[in-house]
Amino acid sequence: MTDPTEILRLEDVTYNWPGSASFGLHVPNLTLAQSETVLLLGESGSGKSTLLSLICGTIIAGSGRVSVARTDIAKLSAGQRDRFRAEQIGLIFQQFNLLPFASVQDNILLPLRFAPERHNRLSDPKQEATRLCHDLGLPDGVMSSKAGNLSVGQQQRVTAARALIGMPPLIIADEPTSSLDASTQATFLELLFAQSRAHGTTLLMVSHDARLSSQFDRVIHMADIARTTRGAT
């Protein structure tokens, strides 16, 4: 029976990149529980990016099962996967992927255009965006600023607010602190953890920096959960 507090499960998942039978990934088992903060460590070429793509449904496993919020990703059409991802997963990208000429407010509210369930959880989305900015340590008045005019650390916090708004059950952060100095990195993580705890959100953060390990509920090494063939990314 599926654990109702389980947010993510991978069972005997295999994936081979098209056109290369020797280029793939096998994950026998991986589970994440509600509200858990998990650090996924792995070197370049260990399969981290492929694993995230499988979880997000941008690629589909050749065999096995990938379930997010108790939904089997493979049973959804491509369009359904896009909508499901928008509703259930908040993404924090290494390169931010903000719209530089749009305001901070518009960047944060953007996921809600594609995720009516997330939108409907909020009585006032603009007020929630302002609250997230405040809680993440952004200055007053930042909502009207163009995202491209902010510092690197501020842009990273806007990216976090965009992922958190509407309380998706799973947050995936892909090397989100790689461009931050040590002090800004620690502050960012502390704020991200606080927001995750407040809303019962599961956080899966991918990194190659083992020094972050003590700050998470659990640490997973790619080498312990997956087998890759030469060339996986």
3-state SS of 89-155 is EEEECCCCCCCCCCEHHHHHHHHHHCCHHHHHCCCCHHHHHHHHHHHCCCCCCHHHCEHHHCCHHHH
Confidence category of residue 128, pLDDT binned at 50, 70, 90: very high
Say whether pLDDT at 232 is over 50: no
Average pLDDT, the chain: 89
Q: What is the CA radius of gyration of the chain?
A: 17
Instruction: Map residue 47 onto helix, strand or coil.
Output: coil
67-124 pLDDT tens trace: 999 999 999 999 999 999 999 999 998 888 999 999 999 999 999 999 999 999 999 9
Say whether pLDDT at 1 is over 50: no
- Cβ distance 50 to 25 under 8 Å? yes
Q: Could you give the domains of the chain?
A: 6-228 (3.40.50.300)
